[in-house]
Amino acid sequence: MMHMPPTKKQLMWIYKRLHSAYGPRGWWPADTEFEVIVGAVLTQQVAWTNVEKAIANLKSHGLLDPERLAKADVTLVEKLVRPAGFYRMKSRRIIGIAREHDRIRDAYAMPIEQARQVLLSMNGIGPETCDSILLYAGNVPTFVIDAYTKRMAARYGIADEAVDYHELKRMFEERLPRNERLFNEYHALIVELGKRHCATKPRCSDCPLGDKCKKKVKRKAAKKIMARKRAERKRR
């Protein structure tokens, strides 16, 4: 199914409704820029609640310092990040990232596409992690796309469900002011929508976007059809 590209007005309507419903999210929760980077890697394929436990473990051992983490014993790091899942792979990734920390910090001052290429060349950093690090750790105005964003976009008629990461990213960036605070808050609000209402199994009651949701509209239409059929059967 093809979708008409959203307008700036439509995207800002979504933003304002979500902000009014949920308030400022204050995301990313971290004490330092490096903690954001580590969290962005650890949160791959796992819920944030699990990441918080791993972060607390690393912090208690003083390993949220890039120099110390870069030299840390991998067996210890595996034990500490175990709550975040895929602990063997992730422990090696965050140690590698710690060793690349200076390159990451240097990338913040580069043109955005150049900065993205630097980060994407590093082990364990894909497009979503790359943009999360640049936006939340480096305050670089690059929009983050994740599963929540894709689901919301499909259900609200912004894009097709199988839309490419970079196509959807470009859709937001071309229609919104390129501002890191806006991108930060917008993405965090979409995540909150996904957690509270727009889950895999949607909880549509009190959703701040209401009847703009195509999925909800279709469900209402289906219920009306079923009600009409029941009424017809009773009249027979």
Do residues 101 and 66 make contact, with C-beta atoms less than 8 angstroms apart? yes
Please state the domain extents for the chain.
Answer: 1-203
Instruction: Give the per-residue pLDDT at 71.
Output: 98
**Which residue is it, tokens 């305050």?**
139
Instruction: Give the per-residue pLDDT at 131.
Output: 98
Q: Under CATH, which architecture does the 1-203 domain have? A: Orthogonal Bundle (1.10)
Mean pLDDT of 162-177: 95
pLDDT cut 70: percent of the chain above it: 89
Radius of gyration of the chain (CA): 21
Candidates 108, 138, 135; CA nearest to 34 is: 138
Do residues 11 and 175 make contact, with C-beta atoms less than 8 angstroms apart? yes
Instruction: Give the per-residue pLDDT at 230.
Output: 56
Instruction: Give the per-residue pLDDT at 233.
Output: 62
pLDDT at 225 over 60: no
pLDDT cut 90: percent of the chain above it: 80
Mean pLDDT of 180-193: 97
37 or 232, higher pLDDT: 37
Mean pLDDT of the chain: 91
Question: How many whole angstroms separate alpha carbon 172 and alpha carbon 5?
Answer: 10
